[in-house]
């Protein structure tokens, strides 16, 4: 005799969670912007009235913000005093080696507003975050403020990816890395820290490589990581002399034809046996998830002209452009759930 498990009664709980998801993100954004986490780090915790006095706000909003952050796992409360939780202490206190605040601030100041116009992007199939006068995305803007904010965010997002990639066996056998569209140089910095014999080049737009050079110098790696200024789509080859090329969080910004062009130029700049690594938040091959990749794809809808692709799509394009023996390696970091490798 078999029994059927009782069917769970449907409730609107999932819809409640989805509809109010921005409550949590805005609580995080507000706490970060007002300096709550750095304050609690400096004073080794505090009560609601102490926090209110230090931040020059009323006790009512201070208590409410502290309670919200504690409920979200950002704060711990011990003996009547609020303290940064381990995740806040590690990632949300400015000046720390793993500071993630650039990504928090960028999403608050830029992406949140663009998402308010998501339905406009859905109906028009056009990005809504572009500069109306120049029709340029912030991704290739020469505005120094936009560049700094965006690449600070990407540096925070890419640092854990670099740490994860350091354990990939294919990279451990290579000696010279080309990071194509490498932004701040976060991944080469982490790879060179983990691999003393590795050298690298960050290839990106001129104003971006200036930013990267500062990050590389601050890491003490200027002797091993260089920069090369150029445009992904300009005539002429990418820099040569490397045995592995990295495309991390790059290809999702473009359409399939542009991605094939980038991969063909990458193939041409590598020697026989050279490797390419595509590090991305990959959409499942059946296009049902996972949420980080699927929702980041909507970010591309409001902010640019690309989308997040599947591993199968990348493997197909790699084969079309000459690469062979493609394979997938799962990752579990905020900026990537997998890497596709082609030889």
**Dist CA 16 CA 12 (whole Å):** 6
Taking the alpha carbons of 333, 119, 140, 322 in that order, is the dihedral positive or negative?
positive
What three-state secondary structure class fits 71? Answer: helix
The 275-280 sheet, strands edge to edge: 225-229, 199-204, 176-180, 244-248, 275-280, 336-342, 327-333
Eight-state DSSP code of residue 93: S
**Dist CA 136 CA 152 (whole Å):** 20
Token digits for 281? 């938040």
Instruction: Give the burial class of 149: count Cβ atoms within 10 A of its Cβ; 0-12 exposed, 13-18 middle, 19 or more buried.
Output: middle
Select from 199, 186, 194 the least CA-distant residue to 160: 186
Place of tokens 């002429």: 236
Q: Phi and psi dihedrals of 215, rounded to 5? A: -65, -40
Token digits for 35? 């300096």
**Active-site annotation, residues:** 252
Q: Are 201 and 239 in contact, with CB atoms under 8 Å apart?
A: yes
């Amino acid at each position: 005799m078999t029994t059927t498990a009782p069917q769970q009664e449907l409730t609107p709980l999932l819809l409640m969670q989805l509809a109010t998801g921005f409550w949590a993100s805005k609580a995080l954004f507000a706490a970060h912007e007002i300096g709550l986490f750095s304050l609690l780090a400096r004073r080794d915790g505090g009560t609601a009235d102490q926090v209110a006095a230090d931040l020059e706000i009323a006790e009512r909003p201070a208590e409410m913000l502290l309670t919200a952050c504690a409920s979200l796992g950002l704060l711990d409360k011990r003996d009547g005093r609020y303290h940064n939780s381990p995740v806040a202490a590690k990632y949300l206190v400015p000046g720390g080696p793993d500071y993630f605040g650039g990504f928090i601030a960028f999403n608050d100041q830029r992406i949140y507003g663009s998402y308010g116009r998501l339905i406009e992007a859905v109906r028009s199939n056009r990005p809504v975050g572009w500069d109306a006068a120049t029709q340029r995305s912030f991704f290739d803007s020469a505005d120094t403020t936009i560049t700094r904010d965006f690449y600070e965010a990407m540096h925070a997002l890419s640092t854990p990816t670099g740490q994860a990639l350091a354990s990939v066996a294919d990279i451990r056998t290579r000696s010279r890395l080309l990071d194509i569209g490498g932004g701040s140089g976060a991944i080469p910095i982490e790879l060179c820290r983990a691999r003393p014999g590795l050298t690298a080049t960050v290839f990106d737009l001129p104003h971006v490589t200036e930013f990267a050079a500062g990050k590389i110098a601050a890491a003490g790696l200027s002797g091993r990581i260089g920069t090369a200024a150029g445009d992904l789509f300009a005539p002429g080859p990418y820099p040569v002399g490397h045995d592995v090329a990295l495309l991390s969080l790059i290809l999702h910004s473009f359409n399939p034809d542009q991605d094939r062009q980038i991969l063909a130029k990458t193939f041409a700049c590598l020697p026989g046996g050279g490797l390419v690594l595509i590090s991305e938040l990959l959409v499942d091959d059946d296009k049902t998830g996972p949420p980080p990749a699927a929702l980041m794809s909507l970010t591309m809808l409001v902010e640019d002209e690309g989308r997040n692709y599947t591993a199968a799509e990348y493997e197909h394009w790699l084969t079309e452009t000459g690469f062979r023996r493609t394979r997938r390696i799962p990752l579990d970091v905020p900026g990537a759930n997998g890497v596709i490798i082609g030889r």
